[in-house]
Amino acid sequence: MRFSEYMNEWLYGKDGYYTNYKQIGKEGDFYTSVSTSKFFGGTIAKHILSLIEDGFLQRDAVICEIGAHHGYFLADVVEFIYTLYPELLESLQFVIIERFDALQERQRAYFKESFGDVVSLTHYKSLGELRCENAFFIANEIFDAFGCELLYDGKIASVTNGKVEFDTVDEKILQKAAKYHKDKGEIAVGYEEFAKEMYGSCKKFEFVSFDYGEMKARPDFSLRIYKDHEVFPFFDEKIDIKELFKNSDITYDVTFEHVKDAFVEAGCEFVALKAQMTALVDMGILELLEMLRINVDEKIYEQELQKVKMLIMPNLLGERFKMIRIRKS
């Protein structure tokens, strides 16, 4: 099978890595910004409130997370909206796009545990099922989990019994590679369909997503595997791919120019690409920290400050991760 099919089977096939709940953070295979600090979601909540104040979002807008895993990110957003502007919980609509029933159940249980009957959560299995007037979409580390083709020496990879061979010619992939000046590496598959689905789901929206990568494509392979907080280059001969298949996370660096082009071609507007550090500061994370400092004792403040530093320090998550902002106006 082609590598994109193999990767989708690894992550989303029967018993795939993302088909059932996985721990993220200290007990899992990797950390994310969501697992690092509630202020990640809190800063997005503050941004949502600014969009309502500016009139871009209505008070009854849909707040939708795509690929929510446990539901922590959206729940953190809800918690901070309650803290900053509680009346909005009566009018905003909270939605998660989640294809897997088992994860939907986890997310519903977590929201019930966190908010009781105060917050209503709606699920859809795909963006194609959602139709709304006004929305804010969020996602964390979603584009690195799209299937990709592997390109080398003018050919793309296929996989047989865990063995990768570059033996197939695909003119569309070669055209995509030429567009982004790639001679070898990963070519993501599915961005265009995803952008079209989002465009068709809502009349007016903003989409904010965080992921690791750069605007321009890397000139080499970034494909890697995360297992027990260790990182293994995919082509490392020392690892057993068959053993890691479906039992670990597989990912690659995002080419944000490809993401941007997919949404622009669908009819959306590209707003910005920023380092996570800059994006979170611009959205008000430091103001939230100052509010915390005033209202809690010093020990609690210092604990949260250290967590936030992981989000914004350049040598940690602040520079490696990027935020892309897209709009349909």
Domain membership flag for residue 165: no
At residue 115 the predicted structure's pLDDT band, cuts being 50, 70 and 90, is very high
CA pair distance 285, 305, nearest whole angstrom = 11
Residue 85 lies inside a defined structural domain of this protein = yes
Q: Return phi, psi of residue 310, to 5°.
A: -60, -35
Q: Which of 328, 223, 221, 220 is nearest to 7 (CA)?
A: 223
* C-alpha distances out from residue 126 to 78, 91, 129, 193, Å: 22, 23, 6, 12
Pair type for strands 148-152 and 184-188? antiparallel
Q: Strands, DSSP E only, in 190-242?
A: 202-214, 224-227, 230-233
Do the domain assignments include residue 228?
no
Secondary structure of residue 174 in the 3-state scheme:
helix
For residue 64, tell me if it sits in a domain. yes
Please give the mean pLDDT across all residues of the chain.
93
For 101-165, give the secondary structure using H, E and C. HHHHHHHHHHHHHHHCCCCCEEEECCHHHCCEEEEEEEEECCHHHCCEEEEECCEEEEEECCEEE
Amino acid of residue 128: G
Residues 6+ apart with CB under 8 A from 51: 57, 136, 206
Span 117-163, pLDDT tens digits: 999 999 999 999 999 999 999 999 999 999 999 999 999 999 998 89
Residues 36-58: pLDDT tens digits? 899 999 999 999 999 999 999 99
User: Which CATH number do you get for residue 85?
Assistant: 3.40.50.12710
Domain containing 201 equals: 31-145+189-218+253-328
Give the pLDDT band (50/70/90) at residue 25. Answer: very low
Nearest Cα to Cα of residue 2 among 157, 151, 148 = 157
Are the CB atoms for 145 and 39 separated by under 8 Å? no
- Token digits of residue 185: 């590496």
Q: How distant is the alpha carbon of residue 12 from its chain centre?
A: 16
Count the domains in the chain.
1
Structure token pair of residue 116: 């009781």
Statement: residue 24 has pLDDT above 90: no
Looking at residues 295-318, what average pLDDT do you find? Answer: 92
C-alpha span between 275 and 291 (Å, rounded) = 24
**pTM metric for this prediction:** 0.93
- The H or E element that residue 187 is part of is strand 184-188
Contact by Cβ (8 Å): 144, 211: yes
The pLDDT, as a whole number, for residue 21 is 55
Can you give the pLDDT at residue 29? Answer: 44
* Long-range pairs for 280-285: beta carbons < 8 A, 24 or more residues apart: 280/40, 280/43, 280/311, 280/312, 280/318, 280/323, 281/312, 283/43, 283/44, 283/46, 283/47, 283/50, 284/43, 284/46, 284/47, 284/50, 285/39, 285/42, 285/43, 285/46, 285/311, 285/312
Q: Is 47 left (phi over 0), alpha (psi -120 to 50) or beta?
A: alpha
Instruction: Note whether residue 154 is domain-resident.
Output: no
Instruction: Give Cα 196 distance to the centre of its chain.
Output: 17
Cβ-contact 52, 61 below 8 angstroms:
yes
Please report whether residue 260 resides in a domain.
yes
Q: Is residue 226 in a domain?
A: no
- 233 in a domain, yes or no? no
| 90: nearest Cα among 115, 120, 63 | 120
